[in-house]
Structure 1
Amino acid sequence: MTEKITRINPENMHETPGYHHITVVEAGRTAYLSGQCPLDMDGDVVGRGSPEKQADQVAANALAALAAVNAGPHDVVRSVIYVKSDHGPVLTSVWARLNASGLGPAFTTASTLLGVAQLGYPGQIVEVDLTVALPD
């Protein structure tokens, strides 16, 4: 884990299901990843109708993007997960699937999970937006 990142859960705030309320980053370089979508190498949406399969593809794409800037999941300082659903169990299943993936440590930081009405590609259910404190 990058030493310039501190994650905090204040004692006078509610407990979280794994993320931290606050992430502090000492001065340094950052990377802002575009929303990672469930697209394969051909640009096709994978796992149509399956939030879990889309979460797997999003995690794989995000890990590749992180590797391209010599970073890993522990270097993520902010995440936003978008799920095209207003059904609590669907949002929960995507959260659980992403946390169980190789990208899981990224979601121990300041994280937000949102149910939304629409995402950019037809058939898309999941997207992840990450901010990264680049290692020295």
Structure 2
Amino acid sequence: MTEKITRINPEQLHATPGYHHITVVEAGRTAHLAGQCPIGPDGDIVGPDSVLEQVDQVAANALVALAAVNAEPHHVVRSVIYVKSDDRATLAAVWSRLNASALGPAFTTASTLLGVAQLGYAGQLVEVDLTAALPG
């Protein structure tokens, strides 16, 4: 069975900067990825002083995780982006960088962008949580 993913923006809701308000999935299996962090292969945080370097590492890690279950960014049906910041410009920069990355198609679906006070690792500025409808 091939997954069927429908993304909807009801005209009664506000326009979005690229994501959809609703994602409907008719699929047999989903993958729920753990929050992808800006940790490199050596186990260390990448770019502890650079949110954009961290975004790049998070995107790279998420692509590896998706590939491990034979999924691609367009199979993502829900995303939550956590940024350790209350600055709107920083949040917008993270959103823009993720959308411009190879992971970008993941963010055309139901997405949430949050500024948070703290993330799990010392020096961590970004984390991305994804759910994907696995291809049949």
**TM norm structure 2:** 0.97
Letter in 2 for 1:56: D
Letter in 1 for 2:112: T
Aligned to 2:110: 110
- What does the per-residue CA deviation read over 1:90-116, in whole Å, with 9 as the maximum and x for residues that have no partner? 000000000000000000000000000
The correspondence of residues 1-136 of structure 1 with structure 2, limited to 5 A, is: 3-136=3-136
Structure 1 ranges of 4+ moved more than 2 A: none
- Superposed displacement of residue 28, structure 1: 1.3
Q: Distance in 2 between the 1:97 and 1:125 partners? A: 14
Q: Distance in 2 between the 1:81 and 1:93 partners? A: 12
Q: Distance in 2 between the 1:19 and 1:115 partners? A: 18
Identity across the alignment (%): 78
- What does the per-residue CA deviation read over 1:7-50, in whole Å, with 9 as the maximum and x for residues that have no partner? 00001110000000000001410000000000001110001111
Q: Distance in 2 between the 1:130 and 1:27 partners? A: 16
Q: Distance in 2 between the 1:84 and 1:108 partners? A: 22
RMSD: 0.8
Give 3-state SS (helix, strand or coil) of 2:113's partner.
Answer: strand
- Superposed displacement of residue 3, structure 1: 4.9
**TM norm structure 1:** 0.97
Give 3-state SS (helix, strand or coil) of 1:64's partner.
Answer: helix
Q: Distance in 1 between the 2:8 and 2:14 partners? A: 12
Letter in 2 for 1:50: S
Letter in 2 for 1:61: N
- Superposed displacement of residue 127, structure 1: 0.2
Q: Distance in 1 between the 2:116 and 2:3 partners? A: 34
Structure 2 residue ranges without an equivalent (≥5): none
